[in-house]
Amino acid sequence: MTAATAMPLVEAKGLTRVFDVSKPWLNRVIEGEPKALLKAVTGISFTIGQRETLALVGESGSGKSTAARMVVGLLRPTAGTVTIDGVDMWATARAAERQKLRRRLQMIFQDPYASLNPRWRVDRIIADPIKAFGLARDSAEIEHRVGELLKLVGLDPADGVKYPHEFSGGQRQRICIARALSSNPEFIVCDEPTSALDVSVQAQILNLMRDLQDRLGLSYLFISHNLAVVRHMATRIGVMYLGRIVELAPSAELFTSPRHPYTRLLMDALPDLGMSGRPRRPIEGEIPNPITPPPGCAFHPRCPWSYEPCSVDLPELVDLGGRMAACHAVAAGRI
């Protein structure tokens, strides 16, 4: 079974999420203001295969966290679909079916301090999914499984009786990973799992996640704002800007030849640890307000390569042979 013909494990089509952040009706009438709609995510599509890691990279306001929550079922999309192994997550009406689907996906969050209930013991936290999906026969089996999971993530099974505050940030993230693995999922969404950790701890956690992926055949959707981190984890990378995917390419290709202007400037903005003194072009301006985005391409006010169509037409994702970019200049071969 080749990768090309196998059905992807996760498929997102035209995912959109709009938040109504308008002021209350009375205020709007008195102040004469229109409704304010925040388009957090607009029309994103991607696929993730078995044992694959797709990364979504973007800065604040890019909508990557919102997208992650839609994929995992925590947030209902305003439009678009998410299918896991062919089953549409939001169309399934029966609770039992949805539970079966839920078992196959899990999530690891960004803040290791808020992702563990401070009043619960660690073993109870990890056992929660096991109990919720009825995966063990009795408490002895649960205890055994929790111990195994703790060992799997590099902790001591005896740590199960402790409370989260007795652990460091890196250790807590390991506990979160153990919890995510306890329901034997096939697909894990990781929302900036190492952003709150120190560099050396981050290295440990990223290595652990890669090892687990190899051992257990997991697929990851990896959300991050750090291109360098993503390079070590992802097979393919999607760059997001103001709710849209502006570039989607295999990891190695993205780094050797970024096409979209935003990707290029983002790479340039990364600090130069090699201290090569290469000439860099700083990105001007700020991320625009998602309630009132610029017309045409959302990036055009900050883009050094923008020309006439950029402020008029929204560029679509164009297939460039194994990779995609949403840019008029790239599509026209200008850059």
Q: Kindly identify the residues of this chain, within the stretch 83-122, that bind another protein according to CB under 8 A.
A: 95, 98-99, 102, 106-107, 109-120
* 57: β partners: 224, 239
Name the residue among 44, 39, 40 with its Cα closest to residue 81.
44
CB of 5 to another protein, least distance (A): 27
Q: Give the torsion sign (CA, 240, 241, 242, 244).
A: negative
In 3-state terms the chain splits into helix, strand, coil percentages (rounded to 5) of: 35, 20, 45
* First vs last C-alpha separation in the chain: 37
Chosen residue from 13, 28, 51, 231 binding another protein by CB under 8 A: 231
Nearer to another protein, 4 or 96 (CB): 96
CB of 1 to another protein, least distance (A): 26
Nearest-angstrom CA–CA distance, 294 and 317: 18
Nearer to another protein, 75 or 331 (CB): 75
Q: Which DSSP helix (H) or strand (E) runs through 259?
A: none
DSSP letter for 302, please.
G
Contact (Cβ atoms closer than 8 angstroms) between residue 260 and residue 327: yes
Nearer to another protein, 48 or 196 (CB): 196
Determine if 324 is a binding residue for another protein (CB under 8 A). no
Determine if 272 is a binding residue for another protein (CB under 8 A). yes
Chosen residue from 80, 170, 243, 296 binding another protein by CB under 8 A: 170
What mask of x and - would describe binding to another protein in positions 184 to 203, judged by CB under 8 A?
------------xxxxxxxx
Nearer to another protein, 156 or 316 (CB): 156
Determine if 59 is a binding residue for another protein (CB under 8 A). yes
Determine if 257 is a binding residue for another protein (CB under 8 A). no
Looking at 34-42, 80-88, 141-149, 221-229, which segment touches another protein (CB under 8 A)? 221-229
Nearer to another protein, 79 or 132 (CB): 132
Nearer to another protein, 46 or 167 (CB): 167
156: left (phi over 0), alpha (psi -120 to 50) or beta: beta
Chosen residue from 1, 93, 140, 273 binding another protein by CB under 8 A: 273
Nearer to another protein, 33 or 313 (CB): 33
- Could you tell me the CA-to-CA distances from 294 to 55, 70, 109, 151, 300 in Å, in that order? 26, 25, 31, 51, 8
Looking at 10-18, 268-276, 306-314, 320-328, which segment touches another protein (CB under 8 A)? 268-276
Determine if 207 is a binding residue for another protein (CB under 8 A). yes
CB of 333 to another protein, least distance (A): 26
Strands (E), the chain: 10-20, 37-48, 53-57, 79-84, 87-88, 105-108, 187-191, 219-224, 236-241, 244-250, 318-319, 324-325
* Window 16-55: residues binding another protein (CB under 8 A): none
Looking at 16-24, 139-147, 270-278, 292-300, which segment touches another protein (CB under 8 A)? 270-278
Chosen residue from 6, 21, 74, 91 binding another protein by CB under 8 A: 74
Total number of residues that touch another protein (CB under 8 A): 79
Determine if 301 is a binding residue for another protein (CB under 8 A). no
Name the residue among 299, 314, 310, 307 with its Cα closest to residue 266.
299
Name the residue among 223, 317, 240, 335 with its Cα closest to residue 281.
335
**Interior angle at CA 187, CA 156 and CA 196, nearest 5:** 55
Determine if 274 is a binding residue for another protein (CB under 8 A). yes
Determine if 128 is a binding residue for another protein (CB under 8 A). yes
Local structure of 55: helix, strand or coil: strand
Local structure of 316: helix, strand or coil: coil
